[in-house]
A and B are shown apart, each in its own frame.
Chain A
Amino acid sequence: MIRLRPIVPLLLLVVASAAQAQEPRLAGRVPEAARAQVDAILGAARNRGLPIEPLVDRALEGAAKGAAPGMIVAAVTRLRDELILVREAFGNGASTAELTAGASALRAGATGAALSRLRVSRSGRALTVAAAVMADLVAAGVPADTAVGAVLALASDADDTDYLTFRRNVQRDIALGASPSAALAIRIRAAVSNADGTASPGTGSTAQGAERKRKP
């Protein structure tokens, strides 16, 4: 009995290694000290039906940047947790691109509730660009709740091109010196007031849109 005890953990270790599939792309890139844990996270993610592509990307990013093993594991874990939350909000049918973009939005400060609302407002349309624009606006300096509010306000009318145009216009206004909040406020006002006109959001008004006088 006493003799067997050291063998038991060894056996468990061997069994565990065999059961864990290894992600080949990590070989030679992710430091050995992180390999086992990252592979474990990937395996568990697969079992849950989570996409592992973003997790592999995150590990490889850390590896490329020469990060310490602990940081790589922490980063992959964090992203895994975010993907789980996003999948709750976006549903099991969400694509990898949607989940990744949603995770960025969460990281930028969107709540799960906000992402759920986005899904409802988009009713069947892809959520990738909408969620990505949330994150991009925050990266440009717009406060998170303002960015989230803007994306939600446009959600039922804007298509992907509209979102990207909107984001570009806000970024350009910021580049010209407007404060991020002001830039967004101006553009969202224009976009929302054009929502039932012929112009698409963020591109500025057509003559038709300009006829709609806002109240003084």
Chain B
Amino acid sequence: MDETDGVLLRRVLSGETPVYAQLVNRYRERLGRYALRMLGNREDAEDALQDTFIRAYRSLSRCEGTHGFGPWVFGILVNRCRTHAAKRARTQGVMVRNDVALAAAAVAPSEGRDALRDAIYWALAQLPAEQREAFLLKHVEDLSYEVMETVTGVRPATLRMRVFRARDELRKLLAETVRD
């Protein structure tokens, strides 16, 4: 029951394909949450997530020797989310930033969601993609800057600045909420 990621990884690489499901189960919620907050709608997030795990499986042997399955598969997801946003911009012919905002706005509030959540998701969608990415990884997924560098390919100093700007922007956008 309590096998480490490395052990599961090795088992899959030695031919035990069904074991991959356990790795997927371990990370699907974390990655799913990031994808949803990043892309702003469930359909895109599910696509990105599924895509990520399939790509990860294909290149699983390249995971050996890096920092372990977690950060590595996160890195694949971050790339998938960037590609998704860019693709949507191309097909819809609008700027990425507005595009995500539109997508976020298009999500119908599900039962039980209140206005606060809508405001937060809207504010998040207003951020430039790289700020939103950095903010989510740092504050929602709680990664260290060292791991974030692995995941995003961006230097910590730049990441810090993006997080700082994201916080500032969110505070401004949600001034009413934050004050309460």
Contacts and interface: CB of A to CB of B under 8 A. Distances in A.
Contact of A178 (B5, B26, B116, B142): B142
Contacts of A211: 112
Nearest to A173: B142
Contacts of A204: 29-30
21 contacts: A164-B1, A165-B2, A172-B5, A173-B142, A175-B68, A175-B70, A176-B70, A177-B142, A177-B143, A177-B144, A177-B145, A177-B146, A177-B148, A178-B142, A178-B144, A204-B29, A205-B29, A211-B112, A213-B113, A213-B114, A216-B114
Contact of B116 (A164, A205, A216): A216
A143 B26 CA distance: 25
A58 interface: no
Contacts of B128: none
Most chain B CB within 10 A, of A164, A177, A186, is at A177
A178 B70 contact: no
Dominant SS among interface residues on chain A: helix
A168 B2 contact: yes
Interface in B1-24: 1-2, 5
Contact of A186 (B68, B117, B142): B142
Contacts of B30: 204
Interface string A136-169: 0000000000000000000000000100110010
A216 B114 CA distance: 10
Nearest to B74: A176
B91 to A, nearest CB: 30
Dominant SS among interface residues on chain B: helix
Interface of A: 161, 164-165, 168, 172-173, 175-178, 182-183, 186, 204-205, 211, 213, 216
Interface string B112-141: 111011000000000000000000000001
A72 B89 CA distance: 69
Interface string B142-157: 1111111000000000
Given A161-B1, A172-B26, A172-B70, 18 more contacts: A165-B1, A168-B2, A176-B74, A176-B142, A177-B142, A177-B143, A177-B145, A177-B146, A177-B148, A178-B143, A178-B144, A182-B142, A183-B142, A186-B142, A204-B30, A213-B112, A213-B114, A216-B117
A164 B70 CA distance: 19
Given A176-B71, A204-B29, A164 B143 contact: no
Contacts of B5: 172
Given A175-B70, A176-B70, A164 B2 contact: yes
Contacts of A165: 1-2
A168 B145 CA distance: 22
Contacts of A186: 142
Nearest to B138: A177
Contacts of B142: 173, 176-178, 182-183, 186
Contacts of A177: 142-148
Contacts of B146: 177
Nearest to B144: A177
Nearest to A160: B1
A183 B141 CA distance: 10
